[in-house]
Amino acid sequence: MVVVLDGVGSGARDESDAVHLARTPTLDRLISRGPTCTLRAHGTAVGMPSDADMGNSEVGHNALGAGRVYDQGAKLVSRSIRERTLFSGATWNQVIAQVLDRSSALHFIGLLSDGNVHSHIDHLFALLREASRRGVSRLFVHVLTDGRDVPDGSALLYVDRLEAELRETGGKIASGGGRMLVTMDRYGADWNIVRRGFEAHVHGNARRFPSARAAIETFREETPGISDQFLPPFVIEENGQPVGPVHDGDAVIFFNFRGDRAIEISQAFEQGPDWGKFDRGRKPDVLYAGMMEYDGDFKIPRRFLVPPPAIERTMGEYLAENGVTQLAISETQKYGHVTYFWNGNRGGMINPALETYVEIPSDLVPFEERPWMKAAEITDKLIAELRTGRHKFARVNFANGDMVGHTGNRDAAIIAVECVDLALARLSREVTRLGGILIVTADHGNADEMYEHDKDGKVLRDKKSGQPVPKTSHTLNPVPFVISDPLGSHAEYRLDEAVLPQAGLAHVAATCLNLLGFERPEDEESSLLTFP
């Protein structure tokens, strides 16, 4: 069984490190007994453009499930812009042709930051410049503020950069809101998030302001300490009217490259009249495209600018071909990661006769207010499933370290990590009782660095209050990896010292296959184990 402690990295063990500060007797015990090491979970080790790019749950689970490193969305989009294949593609030219032929508007919706996890502001700028060069005069941008993959409170920096760009290319900011409250829901956790975005972006129905800056500053004045992630929806108006609602004949590009938080808004634009997730009111007839194809199995969206990575021959496929029964379980917030992303961005099961997928519904409350999330319920169901004896390979994701880590609340993150450790204690006992092997790892860091650091590695502090500056994004830290096999013999295998210096998440798949008694496919990353 593979346990993914989402967002639990190996940090500096300082005052910012909630993983270090948490009481984790189970994880500590497993690591002390080993075999154990750390794995690279960011940058080129997971297909990102450079080692300055943090990892994320999508690319982390892709690597864990595929056993190979694939160029991911950020890298693929940057390359397609640099080599101009995006602008010579059929979808881009359909978009341009439509708005020029109909004298209509081109709308861009997406996350406004350079976090490079869901989007990058430079990609948006490239699209705006090319559209302007091609003669598009009516350009509107609907901005989703970040504060999660970039420092919280930085929204105005990106808005100001965008406004400067729009002065050069033409165009206006039309609407916006915080990513966790507006538009970017995932896995059907809360369709009201998408509804708010659709109302603001399409219909111009939200609180109105003369500018995005005015909106953000007003929200901050009214609710001191409000996070960029949770800014309410807003609409920009001129002369008493929204500047950029979406009309029939317009074109809309969702410029995020990552799929999980792009699928639902894509469905809202593309699904027919029988679609019933929320009342869309007047649904305009537009040409809609995504930056990438967000779901290859269900073809969402129908048009896209850049082909996604073609991830093939995943571990799940290999095990299914060899008749191995599999269990995947998590709560809603990470359910798609142990299914869709683990299976190489494939919707649905590989072989329903051999697989069981379990989703535990997440709570719809702020994560820092309930940092235990659904760890206990996941564990209850997982243990019950293991006791059936049906599953030879199981995988589980505990979302706490990541989702609570993103709030920037260190004390809540400490509780989150401790709750996961309690669950791990129960699982460890059960897997041992059943004669199994437990692997514990993570997909990236987050809770391990809850405060920002300066270039010398010291915790940054606010100049006025002296308090540490919260960090809400992922980290560049490695993640733990440990095997617990108390009924086996560690003399039969050991960690391969030749592999460890550059070992990353993609090495986990072959390791699992070895422990299940299989040889790894030749084109997979090597196992972390050697068998003397």
In this structure, are residues 163 and 128 in contact, taking their beta carbons and an 8 Å threshold?
no
What lies within 8 Å, CB to CB, of 191 at 6+ separation is: 185, 264, 277, 278
Evaluate whether 159 touches 213 at the Cβ level (below 8 Å). yes
SS (H, E, C) 285-330: CCEEEEEECCECCCCECCCEEECCCCCCCCHHHHHHHCCCCEEEEE
**57 a catalytic residue:** yes
Token readout for 272 is 């027919």
Alpha helices in 5-154 (DSSP H): 18-21, 25-33, 57-66, 73-82, 85-88, 90-102, 121-133
The overall longest dimension of the chain from CA atoms, in Å, is: 77
Q: 10 Å Cβ neighbour count for 144?
A: 31
Catalytic-labelled residue, pool 16, 57, 330, 428: 57
DSSP secondary structure string for all residues of 349-379: -S-TTTEEEEEEPPPSS-GGGSTTTTHHHHH
Q: Is residue 345 a contact partner of residue 296, using CB atoms and an 8 Å limit?
A: yes
Strand-strand pairing, 172-178 and 234-238: antiparallel
**Which residues are known catalytic residues?**
57
